[in-house]
Amino acid sequence: MLQLICLFSCKKLIEVEPPVTQLETKQIFQNDQSAVAAVSGMYRQMLLTGSIITNGGITRFCGLSADELMNTTSPDADDEFRNNAIQVRNGSVSGSLWQMAYKNIYHANAVLEGLENAGITQSLKKQLQGEALVVRSLNYFYLIQLFGDVPLVLTTDYRLNQSISRTRISDIYVQLTTDLLRAKSLLVTTYPSAGRVRPNKFTAAALLARVYLYQKDWINAEKQASEIINSGVYVLPAELNNCFLSGSTETIWSLIQDRSNTSEGQLFIPAFSFLKPPFILTDTLFRSFEMNDLRKSKWLASTTINGLPVYYPLKYKKGADFSSTPPAPTEYYVVFRLAEQYLIRAEANVNLGNNAACQADINVIRQRAGLPVTMATSKNELLLAVEKERQLELFAEWGHRWLDLKRTDRANHVLSGIKTTNWQATDTLFPIPFDQIMLNSSLTQNAGY
């Protein structure tokens, strides 16, 4: 942890609009314009090359760990995830997943501290505080899913952070719930940006619905998801190929890189037609699609490797652009979208005994995919139906499949038969990076490593 925190001076803060400079806290938050620029730097930090979400960070490593993706080349890091044999010195775990997440958290903490006594417009102060709370919560959500108990860092004081021990997941969930409820109270329903590239009130509600779902708080998960669905702000596009466009009516929150396509598009789409895709769907995932599922025809592309057809994700249609002046992106990197909220509400309702409501939400997703209504009726059938729709609707997005198998205690059942001798129950958590344990003696290693 010390290595991470020391990347930033305890007096100096965060990058602002180009030309990039580092300013004293009081200078950064002395007026509305510089405060907004500081928060904009928070989003640029999230999109840096090699971060927890760029280069397919979450999607790539979780997809390989689950039953979604296979790598067609053999870098050691990718093999370790696919084989569920991650080494404690794995650079991707240490750099992309752990350190970059904590950099994002540090940046959000710096913003929150700077805003405490900022001399800016009160409404803007609330908006920026809400945004920083959402960003911090999102990064902590993924840290606890990947690593279990992790240090809960709520300050930029490196003297406190350098020796902090692991905090229980349950306590971090309490913090996330508190922060997201506060964010909801601070944010408004309108977006503070052109496009949905900065959080609004419903963004906080979307993450809060997921946090409640993961804690099996069915009542509150249903409540938050229904608030979004019933708001009328978001609509499922009838055309699946429109879901990830910059103007998608389904998007609750997205991120945008200047003059650059999404990291997911660059990850999955071959840079040139004669190259094989670096990641392809597993047979398990491909066979899960029903014959007439439009998600199979719209969101997958095929090619041939060694004379055999293979399929790769094509939710995002734009790959790498090597031109000297690439056009402005037409696809934004979608963080939260409406379909997930329907599936959260479906799962919450079946666990509340509202089977008909669960069926209705499943059918909203199935019918957009060109499929008939679900035949599931009992609780167990409906739970499996929700799991399948989440698998097919949210594949190759934000590690949903990996996290779903873990949170529903289905990982052993599903993956032990697929991963065979490579799988052991402790593989559901990634190792705490070796270099972080060396820097902070209060950190302990996860079981199995």
Q: For 14-47, what is each residue's pLDDT tens digit?
A: 333 333 333 456 677 889 999 999 999 999 889 8
Q: For 58-102, what is each residue's pLDDT tens digit?
A: 999 999 999 999 999 887 789 999 999 999 999 999 999 999 999
Whether the per-residue pLDDT at 128 is higher than 70: the answer is: yes
pLDDT for the residue numbered 55: 65
Global pTM?
Answer: 0.93
Whether the per-residue pLDDT at 161 is higher than 90: the answer is: no
Q: For 270-315, what is each residue's pLDDT tens digit?
A: 988 889 999 999 999 999 999 999 999 999 999 999 999 999 999 9
Over the chain, what HEC string results? CHHHHCCCCCCECCCCCCCCCCCEHHHHCCCHHHHHHHHHHHHHHHCCCCCCCHHHHHHHHHHHHCCCEEECCCCHHHHHHHCCCCCCCCHHHHHHHHHHHHHHHHHHHHHHHHHHCCCCCHHHHHHHHHHHHHHHHHHHHHHHHHHCCECCCCCCCHHHHCCCCCECHHHHHHHHHHHHHHHHHHCCCCCCCCCCCCCCHHHHHHHHHHHHHHCCCHHHHHHHHHHHHCCCCCCCCCCHHHCCECCCCCEEEEECECCECCHHHHHHCCCCCCCCCCEEECHHHHHHCCCCCHHHHHCEEEEEECCEEEEEECCCCCCCCCCCCCCCCCECEEEEEHHHHHHHHHHHHHHCCCHHHHHHHHHHHHHHCCCCCCCCCCHHHHHHHHHHHHHHHCCCCCCHHHHHHHHCCCHHHHHHHHHHHHCCHHHHCCCCCHHHHHHCCCCCCCCCC
Q: pLDDT tier at 57 (50, 70, 90 boundaries)?
A: confident
